[in-house]
Amino acid sequence: MSDPRPVPPDLPALVRAALSTTEDGARGAPTTSDLSIDEELSLHALAWEPVALTTGYAVVAVPAGAWQWGQGEIDVASSAHERAFTQALRRLESDVARTGAHGVVGVSIEREVAPSHIAVAVMGTAVRPRGAGARKGTPFVTDLSARDFARLVASGWEPLGLATGASFVYAPRRSIGTALAQQSQNVELTNFTDALYGARERAVERLQRSAMSYQGAGIVEVKLEEGPLRFASHAVGFAAWGTVVRLAGDQHLPMSPTLVVSLDDETRAFEAQTLE
């Protein structure tokens, strides 16, 4: 049986040669990346390369009084969230397009929902196939790590963009009679549960609509953030986002991983401190 493992390189010789040479191997403009070395190697094996660290930011105002008691959806907050998210992504895309990259991977998403504004900050490393020219059309955006991006591509799929959906709703007020009657009981607050479901339905519907606008087959790694808001406990928010994907070729390419069993047992160390 042949050994599938590659021959390990002669590291000391490699290091000595690399540190001895003063020859400038840099080709083209300096590139920047916040990928870990591991992630970079995943890309490297795929014949892709990092190009630039790219960012996008948007902040949208929410009018005063928006979070006070009301009924149904808090439209101004939901639309402010959508606007902030899409604007931040659009700015990220134009930052990526300026670098000539084909897309951006490992995008981190930070959302701030404050009483007076909603801010979205995104950041990731723009990438391209090694030596490739600029891509036609909008670059793709994905929050998948470079490793997951490599696995997705190796399976014959491609990321298209980030789909998002969010909804903020009021939890309807209980009548005084109901509140008093429920005061000494263990009881489900159906008004709150209903509000959460309402927010969820709207947010997921928007998420799907957003995915369809990319003409994707589906969304992977959907992230959900839900719950009451820190500054308005009678309002609940639900936000979802994920990477829209579609098949790049004719069919899915199965990966058939090799099974491995670790022979390590958990180390049982003698701890001297326990004697004290």
Spacing of C-alpha 21 from chain mean position: 40
- Least distance (Å) from other proteins to the CB of residue 27? 7
Give the residue, chosen from 134, 154, 179, 212, that forms a contact with other proteins under the rule CB under 8 A: 154
d(CA 61, CA 117): 4
100 counts as binding other proteins under rule CB under 8 A: no
Give the residue, chosen from 1, 3, 11, 265, that forms a contact with other proteins under the rule CB under 8 A: 11
Residues 48 to 77 in contact with other proteins, rule: CB under 8 A:
50, 53, 55, 57-66, 76
Give the residue, chosen from 3, 12, 230, 276, that forms a contact with other proteins under the rule CB under 8 A: 12
Report DSSP state, residue 7.
P
d(CA 64, CA 194): 25
Task: Find out whether 138 and 34 touch, Cβ atoms under 8 Å.
Answer: no
Binding segment (CB under 8 A) for other proteins, from list 113-121, 136-144, 160-168, 208-216: 113-121
Task: Find out whether 138 and 145 touch, Cβ atoms under 8 Å.
Answer: no
Give me 60's structure tokens: 């949208």
d(CA 202, CA 197): 9
Binding to other proteins by CB under 8 A, coded x per residue (else -) over 234-263, reads ---------------------xxxxxxxx-
d(CA 142, CA 125): 10
90 counts as binding other proteins under rule CB under 8 A: no
Residues 171 to 190 in contact with other proteins, rule: CB under 8 A:
none
- Closer Cβ to other proteins, 5 or 136, answer by number: 5
